[in-house]
Amino acid sequence: MKKDILIINPKSNVAISTLWSKKDFILEKFPEDLKKKIGIIGTTYTSYGINYIFETLAENPQIDTLILYGCDLSTSGETLFKVFGEKKTDLPTIILDKNKVSEIVKSIKLIDLRKEAREGKVERLFEEVERNYREDCQKKR
């Protein structure tokens, strides 16, 4: 299985997981100037798919903000929330090195907009991208 991601601005510090929602569908709602503030956008279909998120974050140390926005049909969003929000890195779905995952979790701010996605409040997503965006983030993991 391959990662379902799109790198938009490799200098941006913001990543978006659209969970089961099509990333292209969400991306087309963005105004062009705001779209350029997204570093990476991608889907996360399953709880095991969170390993792809950790791999992607490890490969992109400039990312320090992860936004969840989309339909959570298979609990991948809930699993991400447990890992980032509750710092539970010992879940059986995490197959990567737990120390590396813990390091990533400590350096990432998670913004959970799953409820806003259910309610169709895409403007909240726009607000969070704008609020958290920094280009040329020099942070290294």
Instruction: Please name each of the domains of the chain with its CATH number.
Output: 5-132 (3.40.50)
pLDDT average per 10 residues of sequence, the chain (141 residues) = 89 97 97 97 94 96 97 94 90 92 96 97 98 76 54
Q: According to the model, what pLDDT value does residue 29 have?
A: 97
Q: DSSP 3-state assignment of 122?
A: helix
Q: According to the model, what pLDDT value does residue 137 have?
A: 59
Q: According to the model, what pLDDT value does residue 135 have?
A: 78
Q: Is the pTM of this model over 0.85?
A: yes
Q: According to the model, what pLDDT value does residue 12 have?
A: 97
What distances in angstroms separate CA 58 from CA 43, 72, 108, 109, one per listed residue? 17, 23, 11, 14
Q: According to the model, what pLDDT value does residue 85 have?
A: 87
The closest alpha carbon to 65, from 5, 115, 13, 19, belongs to: 13
Q: According to the model, what pLDDT value does residue 119 have?
A: 97
**Pairing mode, strands 65-68 and 14-17:** parallel
Residue 17: beta bridge partners?
42, 68
